[in-house]
Amino acid sequence: MTIAWLGLAMTVVLAAGANAQPTNAVVAEEIRREATRPNASAEGRPLPLACSWQCGSFRDPSNAGWRPENQLQLIEQGHHLLPWLSHPLGPLPADPGDFFFAYYEQAMRRAQALHLPLTLIASQWESGLSEPPYLDLPPEQNPNVVTAEGKILPKVCPFGPIQPWREIGRQHTDNPQMRQLQEWYPDPPLVIFLSNNEHARLQWHEAETSQRYLDRYGRGRDDDFKRRVVGEGWIERYRALQDGMREGLISPQWREKAIFVGYSAFGPPHLGRWAGWPTYSLHCPGWIDPSPLMWDGGSPSYYTHNWNPSTDYTTWSPQVEFQNLVFMLEEAHRLNPGFWFELSVWDGYSPGRADDKRLFYANLGQDFTPERYQGFVQFGMWLMRPRAVREFRGWTQPWEENRPYFMAIVEAVDRVYKNPTLREWWCRGKLVPNRAHPHPYQHGIPEKYRDADRWFLLDASVNPQQFPWELSQPISVFCLALAQGEAPRRQWLLYAHSPLGPREDVRITIPDYREVIVDVPVSGAFYVVDEATGELRAVND
């Protein structure tokens, strides 16, 4: 037991003997309560938590800020983080001074003292299926794609044998390093196993290249049929993999409290953006996406990618795309009421590369500041109200360089806890659709979803007044509203941000009510509008 951990444990114990709790115990209780609260409860929606994909497990001291001990320090300072660690795999090091012990032991013991939830971040659990010995198995036993010519491709198949999926899953939890973590912390309230979920797999439009598909269904089936059977195949196999992971855990509490979440296991946010969007979707009459049946949760990418023209100030933006996901989240919770929905966020920062998004903005004379990042992220937060906001950064990017941007997210999350008005609206507000205009993405919308509300951006005097907007159309102010109550005593919470610079006296139209005039900063602002009194009030920190 380290001196640092002993001091923390004594702090918690002494606080239990008094009538006042230290800040870290109060914040830990809030984190635990919100991480484990159901999606629907008498208290309303669970409050958000801040986290990251960057594990900082490198020995490079410049990345130490990403490591779990720094996360615990931030929690002890009063910030609402969902702790995350790299998912270990392998034998225990013989040397107790090895980096494994330095990275995990104190963090796990400190997390146990505060009884915190955990996230274990991995690459792709199934990737081992496309390597020897599985890749070398005969076709009838091989979990990879077997073509009509008999060639085995290193990408998994939704029609192959299921047992290898269970086996590979168990390998990720039935190993000495994972057993050691459970011994250090046997009773966490929640463990999220998070997959990067980008392993190569057979796409639905490639179905007829698979001999197994042809043997079962032949040629000439329609696209909906192919998407459905591919989706059903993935549901069965990914659940088998997760069952294997659960079986490999030695702690009953870990088995009970584990959930399995996949990056991009949701969507498609690009619904309707161009005619070819269905090629990258598994929608069919049974679902818009099978992920809620494949996974316990999803982490779609609210990214301004460095490899495409998306920005935070045009129609091709995460703010516009994610308005597609509102009805999809409602469907996900019908299919899987416990589905954990979080946001993965990224500004496209790729230092040293020609496609770096901040460089792109700089070449336009713009500055992408932490304040601008916060305004952008908060729009996604209040649009979707996710369980967590998980930032992506490159594995080698130093902590100090990225700290102001990560802390901008932490501040946006903490604001919901600290401000009673925002806390109430997060839990109970209802998102207001803007039915005066359709969503600008309208290519090939499936009939089942044509009447779904997909546009929530409120009309603003500084935005273009002609519709529909082109993908490159700049948008000056992004504003949305939540509502509570019934006429004539309704109230609205407005959130607005202005990525390209502050705007004063912006006229915003609240659907089925009236215009209000507000100032909109880069980092975003909140206002409460009261129908009964006509009052417009800024919500201050």
Do 341 and 252 fall within a single domain? yes
Helix (H, G, I), strand (E, B) or coil at 236: helix
pLDDT tens, per residue, the chain with 541 residues: 333 333 333 333 333 333 456 668 999 999 999 999 999 999 999 999 999 999 976 677 777 889 999 999 999 999 999 999 999 999 999 998 899 999 999 999 999 999 999 999 999 999 999 999 999 999 999 999 999 999 999 999 999 999 999 999 999 999 999 999 999 999 999 999 999 999 999 999 999 999 999 999 999 999 999 999 999 999 999 999 999 999 999 999 999 999 999 999 999 999 999 999 999 999 999 999 999 999 999 999 999 999 999 999 999 999 999 999 999 999 999 999 999 999 999 999 999 999 999 999 999 999 999 999 999 999 999 999 999 999 999 888 899 999 999 999 999 999 999 999 999 999 999 999 999 999 999 999 999 999 999 999 999 999 999 999 999 999 999 999 999 999 999 999 999 999 999 999 999 999 999 999 999 999 999 999 999 999 999 999 8
Residues 15 and 89 both lie in one domain: yes
Domain count, the chain: 2
Neighbour count for residue 310 (Cβ, 10 Å): 20
| The token pair that represents 87 in the structure block | 């998912």
- 198 belongs to a structural domain: yes
The reported pLDDT for the residue numbered 23 is: 66
For residue 299, which phi and psi values (nearest 5 degrees)?
-130, 75
| 198 touches 109 (CB < 8 A) | no
Q: Are residues 535 and 503 in the same domain?
A: yes
Indicate the residue type of 130.
Answer: S
Contact 111, 83 (CB under 8 A): yes
Same domain, 83 and 43: yes
Instruction: Summarize pLDDT for 19-77 with one digit per residue, the tens.
Output: 456 668 999 999 999 999 999 999 999 999 999 999 976 677 777 889 999 999 999 99
CB atoms within 10 A of CB 272: 21
DSSP strands (E only) in 131-254 = 144-146, 152-156, 191-195
Lookup: tokens for 463 = 């935005």
Q: Quick one: pLDDT at residue 21?
A: 60
Amino acid (1-letter code) at residue 470: E
Q: Are residues 290 and 436 in the same domain?
A: no
In a domain, 73, yes or no: yes
Which of 124, 126, 157 lies closest to 139 in space, CA to CA? Answer: 157
In this prediction, residue 62 carries a pLDDT of 75
In a domain, 217, yes or no: no
Of 393, 420, 447, the residue at which a domain comes to its end is: 420
Q: Do 22 and 103 fall into the same domain?
A: yes
What angle, 0 to 180 degrees and rounded to 10, lies between the N-to-C axes of helices 223-247 and 163-171? 40
Whether 410 and 440 share a structural domain: no
513 burial level (CB within 10 Å; 0-12, 13-18, 19+): middle
**Can you say how many angstroms the Cα of residue 92 is from the centroid of all Cα atoms in its chain?**
31
Residue 445 sits in the same domain as residue 406: no
Is residue 216 included in any domain, yes or no? no
Omega before 268 within 30 of 0, i.e. cis: yes
Q: Which two tokens stand for residue 145?
A: 């794609």
Q: Which of 391, 420, 449 is the last residue of a domain?
A: 420
Compute the 3-state secondary structure of the chain and give helix, strand, coil in percent, each to the nearest 5: 40, 20, 45
Residue 141 lies in a domain: no
Examine the domain organization and report whether 236 and 255 are in the same domain.
Answer: yes
Residue 373 lies in domain: 3-126+157-209+222-420
What string of DSSP letters covers 31-96? HHHHHHS-SS-TT-SPPPEEEES----SS-GGGGGGSHHHHHHHHHTT--B--EEE---SPPPS-T
**Last residue of some domain: 399, 420, 441?**
420
pLDDT at 56: 77
Evaluate whether residue 377 is within a structural domain: yes
Are residues 91 and 17 part of one domain?
yes
Structural domain includes residue 138: no
Distance between CA atoms of residues 457 and 504, nearest Å: 18
Q: How far apart are CA 388 and CA 379, in angstroms?
A: 14
| CATH classification at residue 104 | 3.20.20
484 and 529, same domain (yes or no): yes
Residue 140 lies in a domain: no
Residue 424 near residue 54 (C-beta atoms within 8 A): no
Q: What is the DSSP letter of 141?
A: G
Q: Which of 89, 282, 106, 257 is nearest to 186 (CA)?
A: 257
- Sign for the pseudo-dihedral over CA of 352, 370, 24, 417: negative
Residues 295 and 444 in one domain: no
Task: For strands 478-484 and 515-520, give the pairing.
Answer: unpaired
